[in-house]
Structure 1
């Protein structure tokens, strides 16, 4: 059956496929519409600024009692790729840990309508450039700026658990680092190489008494003051810095999340598993709070392994805020904020694909709701200790502007 209709000088023909049945099951009709005069559609381009958004005018159903599906789909999953249809669930998609995630490079550099950009362009834009590679005597980790000249990383990037006063040395931070083969010095350290001025790690990490067992610990967190450069500049004045949150900031629990404390979290790092640790990687996916051997942890599906340690776990990650209109309002807890740093995960690149973070929060070691002007719990206490410490040249790190 055919029918024709002329709309805006464009001849369109719709072909309606009749219902088909198989084994007594009725299938939906598919309708095809063909534009028989595409040239006419190009003659008078629309004024985009005058167009109004199209919405589904059907009334929204009641969603107050919906809950997530718990059973598997009765159908075989599949995906159509450039290489063809794949119907087996690849472990790389989510691993035996069974929490889905997406990981990819923080990289630009392909041809676009505007030309070619440098491969490291994206990692030199905010907020990516507030994240970088932290090198030191034992190797490298990932770190991110949370004050004008203070970075946060993992305590195990400062010293081994329970090693007392024995710490690593020579910490240097390269924000926005891109070190792929052939990278120039300007790409390797686009904002320069910055050295450390002072650091604070939890005493319970140093003496080996922190709550937890094995790698899972309450407070695998440390902060480092970054010294000014030769031009007497603070690093954050060049790169900007990120917010931080504590005590389940932006997490929510409801019947729609299976009553689990859940947030959408983006994690960053330089894992050796991916691109040899030379390029910043990003993982996005649902993240949950949990307790492992008494230690408060965040957990996420991920393949960011060694080298991503100390990398930020960020809620509400985005580069810019949209301009709201039509009565739209932001939701609760909308701020971009670091809520933990990568602590540990499966070392097998083809098995669990999981990652855990020491959560920024009040806990047994850091029970106070207020530590100076820096918030609650472990992250606030570490910052308060660092920022009230005497700095070279007189005054404290706070009074000199490091902790703005």
Structure 2
């Protein structure tokens, strides 16, 4: 099957993309939480960096090199993680009453056709369950760590992606949500960064339970910056945020943040839950989740079944999402909870082929230098918020 990267710019509900196409999922901005203006914008006008992100060139990071695959397939060393944290400020300031809970988006065990073979995906790893995150849970930890990243891209277009906090003032998202990737006609690689952006955690039908914070520093992988090709395992980015607008606090103090897998996070098979705001579910107004077994295909991305489409890009893929009280003596082989292993990167825009791909945080054999990326944005966060904002590797 021929696959081609599409810069997804959907201008109307009638827009149709061929089912054989594969797209990196950034879509035009929805009419939710409009770009702050007036008094809100004035609140951060004193710091120009909060309204115009500083650009961190990925070429300043050590160059990543994909190692040759082992003869037996993927590296199976145990993943390593750094912990997340629950909120430290208990009040959800400016919390607005949410709408009543809506029905789940699909019945359990939905599946589409397998583009890599014949027949359906039933009884394969592409079997999945997508559902609405209960609206009364969206603003509660750990769901509160995930939200919408609104941005203006290098071409001046307003778009959005999904993203999640991995520290008090650091979000992780897809590379194509902060940089166009490679050279593009009329916009060179060095000019391909987004012009501005802000993050709204737990956004829900236009409400902002925890307010928002402006992006102040961007970074992405060398592979994405130089090439900008999907299905290569390097569509990952991190963003430093300013203060929660209108307060002197970091926004993660209100929401908490996820843990981060930083070593050998691309496994042969791993059970993960994806979160995001896909435009084909509730017009992107509510957070949805997809539960699935993910597989490492060709030592690049995680592949998995999903009905999510544009807008889900950058959403986290989380190991053991949520909490569980287990009274058994043997609690299983891997019980660590709420760790981000990857971010949604691409998918088949199709009502038939329900497959997506997520770039793992580390890439194959740790080739993404995720610790280097984190240190860039962490040092930026420390400069803005103090030494307690995060810990470098």
TM-score by shorter chain over 0.5: yes
The 8 Å contact of residues 388 and 398 in structure 1, kept in 2 or not, is answered as no
In structure 1, the residue matched to 2:78 is none
CA 1:317–1:267: 2 relative to 1, 3 Å: same
**Offset of residue 203 of structure 1:** 3.3
Give deviations 1:216-261, integer Å, cap 9, x for gaps.
Answer: 122111101110123210111100000011445595xxxxxxxxx2
Instruction: Give the number of equivalent residue pairs.
Output: 263
Kindly indicate whether the alpha-carbon contact (under 8 Å) linking 2:128 and 2:292 is maintained by their aligned counterparts in 1.
Answer: yes
1:101 and 2:128 correspond? yes
Would you say 1:238 and 2:254 are equivalent positions? yes
Structure 1 residue 358: Cα displacement: 1.0
Matches within 5 A, 1:110-259: 120-137=135-152, 138-163=158-183, 164-166=189-191, 167-179=193-205, 188-208=207-227, 214-229=229-244, 230-249=246-265, 251=267
Q: Is the 8 A contact 2:218 2:377 kept in 1?
A: yes
Preserved CA contact (<8 Å) 1:225 1:402: no
| Higher-Rg member (1/2) | 1
For the aligned residues, what is the CA RMSD? Answer: 2.5
Question: Which 5+ residue runs of structure 2 have no aligned equivalent?
Answer: 1-106, 115-120, 153-157, 184-188
Contact kept in structure 2, 1:363 and 1:378, CA below 8 Å = no
- Aligned counterpart, 1:269: 276
8 Å contact kept, 2:212–2:251: no
What's the CA shift for 1:327? 2.9
Cα 1:339/1:326, change in 2 over 3 Å: closer
Q: Deviations over 1:246-293 (max 9, x none)?
A: 445595xxxxxxxxx2221100111111111111110011111112xx
For 1:249 and 1:204, the matched residues in 2 are separated by 17
CA distance in 1, matches of 2:372, 2:290: 28
Query: 2:230·2:345 contact (CA, 8 Å) conserved in 1?
Result: yes
Instruction: Calculate the TM-score normalised by the size of structure 2.
Output: 0.62
Q: Equivalents in 1 of 2:336, 2:389: separation in Å?
A: 26
Q: Which residue pairs with 2:375 in the alignment?
A: 384
Larger RCO, structure (CA 8 Å, separation 6 or more):
2
- Residue 388 of structure 1, CA deviation: 2.9
Cα distance in structure 2, aligned partners of 1:342 and 1:150: 17
Q: Partners in 2 of 1:250 and 1:207 — Cα distance?
A: 22
1:33-44 map, 5 Å: none
* Offset of residue 193 of structure 1: 1.7
For normalisation by structure 1, the TM-score amounts to: 0.60
1:279 aligns with 2:294: no
Provide the secondary structure at the position in 1 that maps to 2:374: helix
User: Relative to structure 1, is the Cα distance of residues 360 and 218 closer, same or farther in structure 2, using a 3 angstrom cutoff?
Assistant: same
Deviations 1:101-157 (A, max 9, x none): 0111112xxxxxxxxxxxx32101110010001101130000000111100000100
Deviations 1:148-205 (A, max 9, x none): 11000001001212041221222111100111xxx6xxxx100002111211112332
| CA distance 1:301–1:326, change in 2 (3 Å) | closer
Shift of 1:383: 0.3
Q: Structure 1, residues 318-359: CA drift from partner, whole Å, max 9, x if none? A: 2x231x4353445335332110000001011x1110110111
